[in-house]
Amino acid sequence: MDVTAVVEHVEQVVAARAAGRGVAGVDNVQVQEALRSVGKIQAWLSSSRTELTSLLATDDPFPERTAADCTRGSTRDAIKDRERSSTIDHVPAFGGLLDDGDITEAHVDALTNTARNLDNDEQRTELFDRVGDLADVASVATVDEWRRRLSLEAKNIRRNDGIDRLERQRRDTRLSSWTDGDGMICIRGRFDPVTGRKLLGRIDNTVAALFAESVPDTCPTDPVGKQHHLNALALARLVAGDAPSTGRPEYIVVVDTSSSDGNGGPTVDWGIPIEIPHRILAELIDDATVHTIVVRNGVVLHAPGNLDLGRSTRLASPAQRRALRALYPTCAIPGCDTRFDRCKIHHILWWRNGGNTDLDNLLPICTHHHTKIHDADWAIELGPNRQLTIHYPDGTIHNTGPPSRRAA
């Protein structure tokens, strides 16, 4: 982006801010155009900062510190600039896209992080080669969409290396502990996918066995805090050896007949990282209970259990939660990437207004958007294929299509 273009974008921002302070005010169209200009300017500044920090490195033994002093930023920010520069060196097309404001620094950071998490330089080289052909995709994708595309490319690169990767992951398994400022013992674990899945399955089943009827008085009322609290108590009981028998682990298999697997069949999602080799996957499910849920265009065609409970209970049942998880990997509000496990199950027609606990009246909503619905006058409707319509207080209406697991 040349200087003239930068100045034009700055002028748009200045004009919108001035109009907003005036008597007549500013309309939303002008504000939106100004925000787009802000995005272009930020990308250009990021590109400039990245390039200049890299130039410092030719003579400066600690260019990150010097850059941080000059910009009154942090050394960490300057280090990220150097990392972006290295990534752009591998994929030069991204330097031009960032300079023109067609992508953001977050797009470059997503590529940096994906490459870092691969296992070796050969895999990273393959990723950079693939991404070099995806510049057009990056320039029209949101950051979340770009991360998902990179994740897919990384999984495809690793696919032929499944057994070796699992062995490396097992060697990298770690558990650490420390005492925080409140005197609480904190534990952090890093497990290979197979061990981690088994551990999480045991914790989930123990929570269900211990707290199906009631929860302890110490339990928070917030759904997310409540789940974390019960998980911790269940883990402690498992370690102590006095947890009740929890039965077999459970896996949810989602068959999406509206999406192709590339071989003429439907997409099948086991809810397990693709890095787990098929032989290991077979061993995992051999000793597990598998719940198969079939979906198509937002409609559950098949799922085990009763999905319509009417007014018999306010809380969604495990069967209903499994079905909703099959449809929504994240919060149902478009653009929100809060994972399903951190969402509340919301009644479209509120329970206190006579709403039923039936699948077609339930939606996973994160705490932030749940507050918007209950306290900020958002109104939502659900169509026959779970098309979501959101009515905002200012009269704006947002319509979406059926949920897609590709949003995961």
Residues 124-140 pLDDT 10s = 999 999 998 898 899 99
Average pLDDT of the residues in 178-187: 95
22: pLDDT confidence band, cut at 50, 70 and 90? Answer: confident
Q: Does position 23 have pLDDT exceeding 70, yes or no?
A: no
Instruction: Examine the fold and report which residue of 120, 135, 160 is the final residue of a domain before the chain moves on.
Output: 160
Average pLDDT of the residues in 289-309: 89
The runs of H, that is alpha helices, within 172-291 are 193-211, 223-240, 278-286
Average pLDDT of the residues in 7-29: 86
* 368 and 233 in a common domain: no
Over residues 194-203, the pLDDT tens digits come to 888 888 888 9
* 199 and 52 in a common domain: no
The answer to whether 205 touches 250, Cβ cutoff 8 Å, is yes
Q: What pLDDT, on a 0 to 100 scale, did the predictor assign at position 376? A: 87
Average pLDDT of the residues in 79-101: 93
Instruction: Return the higher-pLDDT residue of 247 and 124.
Output: 124
Distance of alpha carbon 4 from the chain centroid: 38
* 304 and 198 in a common domain: no
Closest CA to 43 of 110, 107, 112, 101: 101
> Which residues are registered as beta bridge partners of 292?
253
Structure-token match 């696919």, residue found:
159
Residue 245 lies in a domain: no
Residue 166 lies in a domain: no
Instruction: Return the higher-pLDDT residue of 375 and 264.
Output: 375
Average pLDDT of the residues in 187-193: 91
Q: What pLDDT, on a 0 to 100 scale, did the predictor assign at position 408? A: 38
Instruction: Return the higher-pLDDT residue of 167 and 180.
Output: 180
* 361 and 258 in a common domain: yes
Q: What pLDDT, on a 0 to 100 scale, did the predictor assign at position 247? A: 67
Name the residue range of residue 255's domain. Answer: 250-407
* 338 and 221 in a common domain: no
Over residues 146-165, the pLDDT tens digits come to 999 998 898 888 776 666 77
pTM over 0.95: no
The answer to whether 250 touches 201, Cβ cutoff 8 Å, is yes
Closest CA to 33 of 22, 20, 44: 20
Q: Does position 110 have pLDDT exceeding 50, yes or no?
A: yes
259: pLDDT confidence band, cut at 50, 70 and 90? Answer: confident
Span of 65-79, 129-143, 237-251, 267-281 with lowest mean pLDDT:
267-281
- Residue 227 CA to residue 219 CA, distance in Å, equals 9
Q: What pLDDT, on a 0 to 100 scale, did the predictor assign at position 161? A: 62
* 137 and 9 in a common domain: yes
Q: What pLDDT, on a 0 to 100 scale, did the predictor assign at position 249? A: 73
Reduce the DSSP state of residue 355 to 3 states and report it: coil
Alpha-carbon separation of residue 138 from 130, 135, 150 (angstroms): 12, 5, 10
Highest mean pLDDT among 221-230, 280-289, 392-401: 392-401
* 136 and 57 in a common domain: yes
- Residue 263 is inside which H or E element, if any? none
Tokens of 366: 């994160």
Q: What pLDDT, on a 0 to 100 scale, did the predictor assign at position 254? A: 87
Instruction: Examine the fold and report which residue of 117, 141, 160 is the final residue of a domain before the chain moves on.
Output: 160
Q: What pLDDT, on a 0 to 100 scale, did the predictor assign at position 47? A: 94
Residue 258 sits at φ, ψ, to 5 deg, of -95, 0
The answer to whether 193 touches 280, Cβ cutoff 8 Å, is no
- Residue 218 CA to residue 227 CA, distance in Å, equals 12
The average confidence (pLDDT) of the chain is 87
Q: Which amino acid is at 226?
A: K
Q: What pLDDT, on a 0 to 100 scale, did the predictor assign at position 105? A: 94
Instruction: Examine the fold and report which residue of 130, 160, 190 is the final residue of a domain before the chain moves on.
Output: 160
Average pLDDT of the residues in 348-360: 94
- Residue 48 CA to residue 29 CA, distance in Å, equals 29
Q: What pLDDT, on a 0 to 100 scale, did the predictor assign at position 273? A: 54
* 131 and 83 in a common domain: yes
> Which residues are registered as beta bridge partners of 358?
308
Average pLDDT of the residues in 272-286: 67
Q: What pLDDT, on a 0 to 100 scale, did the predictor assign at position 261? A: 63
Q: Does position 87 have pLDDT exceeding 90, yes or no?
A: yes
Alpha-carbon separation of residue 347 from 224, 243, 302, 360, 374 (angstroms): 17, 34, 21, 9, 11
Q: What pLDDT, on a 0 to 100 scale, did the predictor assign at position 208? A: 79
Tally of domains within the chain: 3
Reduce the DSSP state of residue 273 to 3 states and report it: coil
Q: Does position 36 have pLDDT exceeding 70, yes or no?
A: yes
* 184 and 112 in a common domain: no
Residue 375 lies in a domain: yes
Q: What pLDDT, on a 0 to 100 scale, did the predictor assign at position 277? A: 67
Q: What pLDDT, on a 0 to 100 scale, did the predictor assign at position 192? A: 86
* 218 and 150 in a common domain: no
Residue 396 lies in a domain: yes
